[in-house]
Amino acid sequence: MSNNEIVFVTGNANKLKEVQSILTQEVDNNNKTIHLINEALDLEELQDTDLNAIALAKGKQAVAALGKGKPVFVEDTALRFDEFNGLPGAYIKWFLKSMGLEKIVKMLEPFENKNAEAVTTICFADSRGEYHFFQGITRGKIVPSRGPTTFGWDSIFEPFDSHGLTYAEMSKDAKNAISHRGKAFAQFKEYLYQNDF
Amino acid sequence: MSNNEIVFVTGNANKLKEVQSILTQEVDNNNKTIHLINEALDLEELQDTDLNAIALAKGKQAVAALGKGKPVFVEDTALRFDEFNGLPGAYIKWFLKSMGLEKIVKMLEPFENKNAEAVTTICFADSRGEYHFFQGITRGKIVPSRGPTTFGWDSIFEPFDSHGLTYAEMSKDAKNAISHRGKAFAQFKEYLYQNDF
């Protein structure tokens, strides 16, 4: 598309804000501008521990809903506990909704190893109908909630390279610089500025 | 269909055996015989805490794969912890695969309330393309594994009305008489013998 419009399908206002902030940051952009359009489609999510498979299933639904030829991307975020061999994974959103932060921390109490990784997987369908994947991973540990509890599980995840802060205690820019979502979208942004889509 | 054939879509040999045993038990069957056919289709499963929604999504895929007009059913089983507000729910199969029985029991250690309910949801598509749901629920508690560990989480679930035995410690008939799957399939069997499908 000549005007570089891409559609981000999400119903999560916090994610949208974060992604807008990342994709519009200054880059060597060859005078290219990307216009982000939001669609809050309700996409079904697949049960799987393969995060690309979940993202692809959402991507295909988005393409089916919007029609082929329109560049569109979806993202899915997982929180993988080492001790749980990667679970709750993509199901973390259901645990958050059903149990809340305190009980998520509590169910790890009997386990010494609190390490976890936060993963964002982006599935991008270009105008030719080809799918591309971008993934960002940030390792850290699960801790009792610290900081604002307004964005998902940010207050119980302390990245290893955050100088002891949880995501929720970090500034937006500091978080985006090391976060799973920041890393995934940095790759995606580079791709968008260097390729026709 | 004149010969009362119905297709059960499952790749789980243990479930198939249990269901065959339940559906072929003696009933006042009006001289009706039901022929169970197994198809091990690989169906995608939806992320949801609404168990009917998960079963319906599988049912629709089964109909799409087998063609309309062929009576077919699927089932999905959930293990809902009271303290987790219904989770792991349908995701229990992933927890079992990723973590194993011991860690599932362990993650409940910090919580006093070990109560849980086992739920089987059947989605049956009749030859007219109508969907019917049958659900069986058995309440009990999560306990350290006792009995054979050959069938899912049977060895860590002790129903309240089992006289202190886990599912795994019970005879097949005793289990079917009180189990979530037994209850769901008892309703389904009654429906099949009393209705044209």
DSSP output for B56-79: HHHHHHHHHHH-TTS-EEEEEEEE
The answer to whether the CB of A49 falls within 8 A of the CB of B98 is yes
What is the mean pLDDT of the segment spanning A98-105? 97
Query: Residue B26 pLDDT more than 90?
Result: no
Distance from CA of B56 to the nearest CA of A (A): 13
pLDDT digits (tens, 9 = 90+) for A111-124: 999 999 999 999 99
Question: Residue with structure tokens 């973590």?
Answer: B99
Residue B189's closest CA among B127, B145, B124, B144?
A: B124
CA separation, residue A94 to residues A146, B47, B88, B115 (Å): 21, 9, 9, 20
Per-state percent for chain B, helix, strand, coil, to nearest 5: 35, 25, 40
Distance CA B28, CA B32 (A): 9
pTM, full prediction: 0.92
Question: Can you give the C-alpha Rg of chain A in angstroms?
Answer: 17
Average pLDDT of chain A is 93
DSSP state of A25: S
Where does the pLDDT of residue B99 fall: very low under 50, low under 70, confident under 90, or very high at 90 and above? Answer: very high
Residue A165 structure tokens: 């802060």
What is the mean pLDDT of the segment spanning B50-55? 97
Identify residue B139 by its one-letter amino acid code: R
Percentage of chain B modeled with pLDDT above 90: 80
Distance CA A46, CA A74 (A): 14
Identify residue A149 by its one-letter amino acid code: T
By DSSP bridging, strand A88-89 and strand B115-125 are unpaired
Distance CA A172, CA B172 (A): 57
What is the mean pLDDT of the segment spanning B166-174? 96
For residue B91, give the nearest of A91, A109, A111 by CB distance.
Answer: A91
What is the mean pLDDT of the segment spanning A152-177? 96
Best residue of B58, B98, B105, B109 to probe chain A, by most A CBs closer than 10 Å: B98
Where does the pLDDT of residue A180 fall: very low under 50, low under 70, confident under 90, or very high at 90 and above? Answer: very high
Where does the pLDDT of residue A34 fall: very low under 50, low under 70, confident under 90, or very high at 90 and above? Answer: confident
Residues in chain A: 197
Where does the pLDDT of residue B144 fall: very low under 50, low under 70, confident under 90, or very high at 90 and above? Answer: very high
Q: What pLDDT shows up at residue B4?
A: 83
Distance CA B196, CA B192 (A): 7
Domain segments of chain B as ranges: 3-192
What is the mean pLDDT of the segment spanning B135-151? 97
CATH of domain B3-192: 3.90.950.10
Per the model's pLDDT, the better-predicted residue between B35 and B138 turns out to be: B138
| DSSP three-state, residue B8 | strand
pLDDT digits (tens, 9 = 90+) for A47-72: 999 999 999 999 999 999 999 899 99
Report yes or no: A53 at the B interface, CB cutoff 8 Å: no
The answer to whether the CB of B92 falls within 8 A of the CB of B153 is yes
The ipTM is 0.90
Distance CA A91, CA A94 (A): 5
Distance CA A62, CA B51 (A): 24
Cross-chain residue pair B110–A111, CB shorter than 8 Å: no
Question: Can you give the C-alpha Rg of chain B in angstroms?
Answer: 17
By DSSP bridging, strand A72-81 and strand A88-89 are antiparallel
Distance CA A76, CA A86 (A): 15
Where does the pLDDT of residue A11 fall: very low under 50, low under 70, confident under 90, or very high at 90 and above? Answer: confident
DSSP state of B70: S
For residue A84, give the nearest of B44, B89, B99 by CB distance.
Answer: B99
Contacts of B105 (CB under 8 A, 6+ apart): B142, B143, B144, B145, B156
Residue B116's closest CA among B144, B82, B85?
A: B82
Q: Taking chain B, what is the end-to-end CA distance rounded to the nearest angstrom?
A: 7
The answer to whether the CB of A57 falls within 8 A of the CB of A45 is yes
Distance from CA of A135 to the nearest CA of B (A): 21
Report yes or no: B82 at the A interface, CB cutoff 8 Å: no
Q: What pLDDT shows up at residue A1?
A: 42
Query: Residue B2 pLDDT more than 60?
Result: no
Q: What pLDDT shows up at residue A28?
A: 57
Distance CA A144, CA A166 (A): 10
